[in-house]
Structure 1
Amino acid sequence: MSAAVLSLEWFKNNISRGNCDLSKRIGFTAGVSSSGSSWSSGKLIFTKVLYNQGNGYDSSSGIFTAPSAGVYVFYVSITSYSSNAISVDISLNGYSQVTARSNAGSGSGYRSSFSYSYQTGTNMAVLSLKRGDRVWIAYNSGTGYYSDYTQITTFSGFLI
Protein backbone atom coordinates (compact mmCIF):
# COMPACT_ATOMS: atom_id res chain seq x y z
CA MET A 1 0.00 0.00 0.00
CA SER A 2 2.90 2.38 0.69
CA ALA A 3 3.90 2.23 -2.99
CA ALA A 4 0.40 3.32 -3.95
CA VAL A 5 0.45 6.20 -1.46
CA LEU A 6 3.85 7.35 -2.74
CA SER A 7 2.58 7.15 -6.33
CA LEU A 8 -0.41 9.31 -5.49
CA GLU A 9 1.81 11.82 -3.66
CA TRP A 10 4.16 11.99 -6.67
CA PHE A 11 1.19 12.54 -8.97
CA LYS A 12 -0.26 15.29 -6.74
CA ASN A 13 3.09 17.10 -6.42
CA ASN A 14 3.84 17.02 -10.14
CA ILE A 15 0.35 18.18 -11.14
CA SER A 16 0.48 21.08 -8.67
CA ARG A 17 3.90 22.17 -10.00
CA GLY A 18 2.79 21.93 -13.61
CA ASN A 19 5.34 19.19 -14.41
CA CYS A 20 2.90 16.99 -16.32
CA ASP A 21 2.19 17.33 -20.02
CA LEU A 22 -1.60 17.63 -19.92
CA SER A 23 -1.94 16.44 -23.52
CA LYS A 24 -0.59 13.03 -22.43
CA ARG A 25 -2.96 12.51 -19.51
CA ILE A 26 -4.65 9.12 -19.35
CA GLY A 27 -7.31 8.19 -16.83
CA PHE A 28 -10.80 6.82 -16.44
CA THR A 29 -13.57 6.12 -13.96
CA ALA A 30 -16.51 3.90 -14.79
CA GLY A 31 -19.33 2.33 -12.82
CA VAL A 32 -21.95 -0.34 -13.27
CA SER A 33 -25.33 1.07 -14.26
CA SER A 34 -27.45 -1.53 -12.44
CA SER A 35 -27.14 -4.28 -9.86
CA GLY A 36 -26.33 -7.84 -10.83
CA SER A 37 -27.81 -10.08 -8.14
CA SER A 38 -26.64 -13.32 -9.77
CA TRP A 39 -23.36 -12.34 -11.50
CA SER A 40 -20.83 -15.12 -10.94
CA SER A 41 -18.35 -15.31 -13.82
CA GLY A 42 -16.29 -13.46 -16.41
CA LYS A 43 -15.40 -9.77 -16.61
CA LEU A 44 -17.39 -7.11 -14.82
CA ILE A 45 -18.37 -4.54 -17.43
CA PHE A 46 -18.65 -0.98 -16.18
CA THR A 47 -20.96 0.65 -18.72
CA LYS A 48 -21.43 4.06 -17.07
CA VAL A 49 -18.29 6.03 -18.03
CA LEU A 50 -17.76 9.09 -15.87
CA TYR A 51 -14.37 10.06 -17.30
CA ASN A 52 -12.17 8.58 -20.03
CA GLN A 53 -9.23 10.84 -20.90
CA GLY A 54 -7.11 9.12 -23.55
CA ASN A 55 -9.94 6.71 -24.46
CA GLY A 56 -8.21 3.70 -22.93
CA TYR A 57 -11.34 2.28 -21.31
CA ASP A 58 -13.87 0.41 -23.49
CA SER A 59 -17.32 0.36 -21.87
CA SER A 60 -18.59 -2.40 -24.16
CA SER A 61 -15.90 -4.92 -23.13
CA GLY A 62 -14.95 -3.63 -19.64
CA ILE A 63 -11.28 -3.58 -20.65
CA PHE A 64 -8.73 -0.79 -20.26
CA THR A 65 -6.05 -0.95 -22.97
CA ALA A 66 -2.92 1.10 -22.24
CA PRO A 67 -2.54 3.74 -24.98
CA SER A 68 1.09 4.24 -23.90
CA ALA A 69 3.67 2.53 -21.73
CA GLY A 70 4.08 3.71 -18.16
CA VAL A 71 3.19 3.19 -14.53
CA TYR A 72 -0.56 3.15 -13.87
CA VAL A 73 -2.70 3.08 -10.75
CA PHE A 74 -5.91 1.00 -10.82
CA TYR A 75 -8.65 0.97 -8.20
CA VAL A 76 -11.77 -1.15 -7.79
CA SER A 77 -14.67 -0.74 -5.40
CA ILE A 78 -17.17 -3.63 -5.28
CA THR A 79 -20.36 -3.59 -3.23
CA SER A 80 -21.97 -6.94 -2.53
CA TYR A 81 -25.59 -7.52 -3.43
CA SER A 82 -27.75 -7.76 -0.30
CA SER A 83 -26.24 -10.33 2.09
CA ASN A 84 -24.10 -12.02 -0.58
CA ALA A 85 -20.31 -12.04 -0.57
CA ILE A 86 -18.33 -11.15 -3.71
CA SER A 87 -14.66 -11.17 -4.64
CA VAL A 88 -13.09 -9.68 -7.80
CA ASP A 89 -9.57 -9.35 -9.18
CA ILE A 90 -7.77 -6.56 -10.96
CA SER A 91 -6.39 -8.61 -13.87
CA LEU A 92 -3.50 -7.69 -16.17
CA ASN A 93 -3.54 -9.57 -19.47
CA GLY A 94 -5.54 -12.37 -17.80
CA TYR A 95 -3.42 -12.68 -14.64
CA SER A 96 -4.77 -11.67 -11.26
CA GLN A 97 -2.79 -8.85 -9.61
CA VAL A 98 -4.86 -8.05 -6.49
CA THR A 99 -8.25 -9.07 -5.06
CA ALA A 100 -11.05 -6.94 -3.59
CA ARG A 101 -13.43 -8.83 -1.34
CA SER A 102 -16.76 -7.81 0.14
CA ASN A 103 -18.04 -10.17 2.81
CA ALA A 104 -21.62 -10.06 4.02
CA GLY A 105 -23.93 -12.27 5.99
CA SER A 106 -24.92 -12.65 9.60
CA GLY A 107 -23.47 -13.82 12.86
CA SER A 108 -23.67 -13.44 16.58
CA GLY A 109 -21.59 -11.57 19.05
CA TYR A 110 -21.64 -10.62 22.67
CA ARG A 111 -25.32 -10.39 23.71
CA SER A 112 -26.75 -10.04 20.20
CA SER A 113 -27.17 -11.35 16.70
CA PHE A 114 -26.32 -9.16 13.79
CA SER A 115 -26.58 -9.07 10.04
CA TYR A 116 -24.71 -7.02 7.56
CA SER A 117 -25.43 -6.49 3.91
CA TYR A 118 -24.36 -4.33 0.98
CA GLN A 119 -20.76 -4.30 2.19
CA THR A 120 -17.98 -2.74 0.10
CA GLY A 121 -14.54 -4.12 -0.68
CA THR A 122 -11.75 -2.15 -2.34
CA ASN A 123 -8.22 -2.61 -3.58
CA MET A 124 -5.63 -0.73 -5.59
CA ALA A 125 -2.67 -1.80 -7.71
CA VAL A 126 0.28 0.13 -9.15
CA LEU A 127 1.28 -1.63 -12.37
CA SER A 128 3.94 -1.07 -15.01
CA LEU A 129 2.25 -1.49 -18.39
CA LYS A 130 3.48 -1.73 -21.94
CA ARG A 131 1.48 -0.10 -24.70
CA GLY A 132 -1.42 -2.43 -25.52
CA ASP A 133 -1.49 -4.21 -22.14
CA ARG A 134 -5.05 -4.87 -20.98
CA VAL A 135 -6.53 -4.50 -17.49
CA TRP A 136 -10.01 -5.50 -16.34
CA ILE A 137 -12.02 -6.59 -13.32
CA ALA A 138 -12.55 -10.35 -13.24
CA TYR A 139 -14.81 -12.54 -11.17
CA ASN A 140 -13.05 -14.43 -8.37
CA SER A 141 -15.77 -15.85 -6.09
CA GLY A 142 -19.19 -15.17 -4.58
CA THR A 143 -22.36 -13.86 -6.20
CA GLY A 144 -23.76 -10.47 -7.14
CA TYR A 145 -22.81 -6.81 -7.00
CA TYR A 146 -24.82 -3.71 -6.19
CA SER A 147 -25.24 -0.29 -7.72
CA ASP A 148 -27.66 2.59 -7.36
CA TYR A 149 -28.53 5.76 -9.25
CA THR A 150 -25.06 7.02 -8.34
CA GLN A 151 -22.09 4.79 -9.02
CA ILE A 152 -21.20 2.55 -6.05
CA THR A 153 -19.37 -0.32 -7.76
CA THR A 154 -16.58 1.36 -9.75
CA PHE A 155 -13.33 0.79 -11.65
CA SER A 156 -10.75 3.58 -12.11
CA GLY A 157 -7.24 3.93 -13.44
CA PHE A 158 -4.71 6.56 -14.42
CA LEU A 159 -1.17 7.00 -15.69
CA ILE A 160 1.24 8.52 -13.17
Structure 2
Amino acid sequence: MLGNRCNSKKVTFTAGTHAPGTTASGHTLVFPVVINNEGGGYDPSSGVFTAPRDGQYVFFVSAQGYSSDTLYVSIVHNGVPKVMTMSDGGRKKDFYDSGSNLVALNLKTSDRVWAQCQSGSHYHSEGIAITTFSGFLI
Protein backbone atom coordinates (compact mmCIF):
# COMPACT_ATOMS: atom_id res chain seq x y z
CA MET A 1 0.00 0.00 0.00
CA LEU A 2 2.82 2.43 0.82
CA GLY A 3 4.23 2.02 -2.69
CA ASN A 4 0.90 3.04 -4.22
CA ARG A 5 0.70 6.17 -2.06
CA CYS A 6 4.23 7.23 -3.05
CA ASN A 7 3.40 6.80 -6.74
CA SER A 8 0.35 9.05 -6.43
CA LYS A 9 0.43 12.13 -8.65
CA LYS A 10 -0.80 14.27 -5.77
CA VAL A 11 1.34 15.08 -2.76
CA THR A 12 -0.46 16.94 0.01
CA PHE A 13 -0.71 16.78 3.77
CA THR A 14 -2.28 18.57 6.71
CA ALA A 15 -1.59 17.58 10.28
CA GLY A 16 -2.28 19.18 13.63
CA THR A 17 -2.44 18.78 17.36
CA HIS A 18 -5.60 17.96 19.28
CA ALA A 19 -4.61 19.26 22.72
CA PRO A 20 -2.42 21.93 24.30
CA GLY A 21 1.24 21.06 24.54
CA THR A 22 4.72 22.29 25.25
CA THR A 23 7.96 22.07 23.35
CA ALA A 24 11.45 23.52 23.66
CA SER A 25 13.67 25.71 21.52
CA GLY A 26 15.29 23.74 18.73
CA HIS A 27 12.74 20.91 18.84
CA THR A 28 10.62 19.74 15.94
CA LEU A 29 6.90 20.24 16.51
CA VAL A 30 5.18 16.91 16.05
CA PHE A 31 1.66 17.04 14.63
CA PRO A 32 0.16 13.60 15.39
CA VAL A 33 -3.38 14.24 14.09
CA VAL A 34 -3.20 13.55 10.35
CA ILE A 35 -6.06 15.11 8.42
CA ASN A 36 -4.68 14.23 4.98
CA ASN A 37 -1.44 12.62 3.81
CA GLU A 38 -1.80 11.88 0.12
CA GLY A 39 1.52 10.72 -1.27
CA GLY A 40 2.65 9.51 2.15
CA GLY A 41 5.33 12.16 2.69
CA TYR A 42 4.40 13.29 6.20
CA ASP A 43 5.49 11.20 9.22
CA PRO A 44 3.22 11.88 12.24
CA SER A 45 5.64 10.21 14.65
CA SER A 46 8.54 12.57 13.82
CA GLY A 47 6.72 15.66 12.46
CA VAL A 48 8.90 15.57 9.34
CA PHE A 49 7.78 15.71 5.70
CA THR A 50 10.03 13.86 3.24
CA ALA A 51 9.54 14.76 -0.43
CA PRO A 52 8.51 11.67 -2.42
CA ARG A 53 9.67 13.39 -5.63
CA ASP A 54 11.25 16.54 -7.05
CA GLY A 55 9.10 19.63 -7.43
CA GLN A 56 7.90 22.99 -6.17
CA TYR A 57 6.15 22.63 -2.80
CA VAL A 58 4.24 25.07 -0.62
CA PHE A 59 4.29 24.73 3.18
CA PHE A 60 2.16 26.51 5.78
CA VAL A 61 2.39 26.55 9.56
CA SER A 62 -0.09 28.04 12.01
CA ALA A 63 0.89 28.15 15.67
CA GLN A 64 -1.60 29.08 18.38
CA GLY A 65 0.47 30.23 21.33
CA TYR A 66 -0.81 30.72 24.84
CA SER A 67 0.36 31.68 28.31
CA SER A 68 2.80 34.55 28.65
CA ASP A 69 5.21 32.96 26.13
CA THR A 70 6.04 34.44 22.78
CA LEU A 71 6.17 31.41 20.49
CA TYR A 72 8.43 31.48 17.42
CA VAL A 73 8.07 28.62 14.93
CA SER A 74 10.11 28.19 11.73
CA ILE A 75 9.60 26.10 8.63
CA VAL A 76 12.92 24.29 8.19
CA HIS A 77 14.26 22.74 4.97
CA ASN A 78 17.09 20.21 5.42
CA GLY A 79 18.17 21.90 8.65
CA VAL A 80 17.96 25.50 7.39
CA PRO A 81 15.12 27.75 8.71
CA LYS A 82 13.36 29.46 5.79
CA VAL A 83 10.51 31.50 7.34
CA MET A 84 9.28 32.09 10.88
CA THR A 85 6.00 32.88 12.57
CA MET A 86 5.42 34.53 15.92
CA SER A 87 2.52 34.43 18.35
CA ASP A 88 2.94 36.94 21.14
CA GLY A 89 1.53 35.79 24.46
CA GLY A 90 2.18 39.23 25.90
CA ARG A 91 2.42 39.52 29.63
CA LYS A 92 -0.94 38.01 30.45
CA LYS A 93 -1.32 34.49 31.73
CA ASP A 94 -3.84 32.47 29.68
CA PHE A 95 -3.59 34.92 26.74
CA TYR A 96 -3.94 33.37 23.26
CA ASP A 97 -2.39 34.64 20.04
CA SER A 98 -1.66 33.00 16.71
CA GLY A 99 0.96 33.36 14.05
CA SER A 100 1.25 31.82 10.60
CA ASN A 101 3.57 31.81 7.63
CA LEU A 102 3.94 30.19 4.23
CA VAL A 103 6.91 29.34 2.03
CA ALA A 104 7.37 27.92 -1.49
CA LEU A 105 10.42 25.64 -1.81
CA ASN A 106 12.05 23.69 -4.64
CA LEU A 107 12.63 20.20 -3.23
CA LYS A 108 14.52 17.19 -4.47
CA THR A 109 13.38 13.64 -3.71
CA SER A 110 14.12 12.84 -0.04
CA ASP A 111 14.51 16.50 1.03
CA ARG A 112 13.04 17.01 4.50
CA VAL A 113 10.84 19.84 5.81
CA TRP A 114 9.50 20.36 9.34
CA ALA A 115 8.19 22.99 11.75
CA GLN A 116 10.62 23.81 14.54
CA CYS A 117 10.25 25.79 17.74
CA GLN A 118 12.81 28.60 17.75
CA SER A 119 11.72 30.11 21.06
CA GLY A 120 8.85 29.81 23.53
CA SER A 121 7.18 26.60 24.58
CA HIS A 122 3.36 26.64 24.80
CA TYR A 123 1.06 25.86 21.86
CA HIS A 124 -2.67 25.25 21.90
CA SER A 125 -5.36 23.15 20.22
CA GLU A 126 -8.75 21.93 21.40
CA GLY A 127 -10.31 18.83 19.87
CA ILE A 128 -10.23 20.19 16.31
CA ALA A 129 -6.70 21.13 15.26
CA ILE A 130 -5.77 24.82 15.72
CA THR A 131 -1.99 24.46 15.59
CA THR A 132 -1.29 22.91 12.15
CA PHE A 133 1.35 22.14 9.54
CA SER A 134 0.49 21.63 5.86
CA GLY A 135 2.22 21.20 2.54
CA PHE A 136 1.54 20.32 -1.07
CA LEU A 137 3.22 19.85 -4.44
CA ILE A 138 2.20 22.43 -7.05
TM-score, with normalisation over the residues of structure 2? 0.89
2:4 paired residue number: none
Q: Which residue of 1 aligns with 2:23?
A: 39
Aligned residues: 130
Amino acid at match of 1:136: W
Structure in which a larger fraction of residues adopt helix:
1
Structure with greater Cα Rg: 1
Pair 1:68-2:38 in alignment:
no
| Distance in 2, Cα, partners of 1:43 & 1:33 | 17
Could you tell me whether the CA contact under 8 Å between 2:71 and 2:119 is conserved in 1? Answer: yes
Tell me the residue number matched to 1:80: 65
For 1:138 and 1:96, how far apart are their aligned partners in 2? 8
State the AA in 2 paired with 1:44: L
1:84 CA drift (Å): 2.0
Counterpart CA distance in 2 for 1:72 and 1:123 is 14
Which letter maps to 1:70? Answer: G
Gaps of at least 5 residues in structure 1 are 1-22, 107-113
Letter in 2 for 1:121: G
CA apart distance, 1:33: 2.5
Q: Which residue of 1 aligns with 2:109?
A: 131
Deviations 1:45-95 (A, max 9, x none): 000000000000000010000000000000000010233210011000111
Query: What's the C-alpha RMSD, in Å, of the aligned pairs?
Result: 1.6
Rounded to whole Å, the distance in 2 between the matches of 1:131 and 1:69 is 5
Q: More strand by proportion, 1 or 2? A: 2
Identity in percent: 48
Task: Could you tell me which runs of 5 or more consecutive residues in structure 2 were left unpaired when the two chains were aligned.
Answer: 1-7
The TM-score, its normalising length taken from structure 1, stands at 0.77
Q: Partner of 1:159 in structure 2?
A: 137
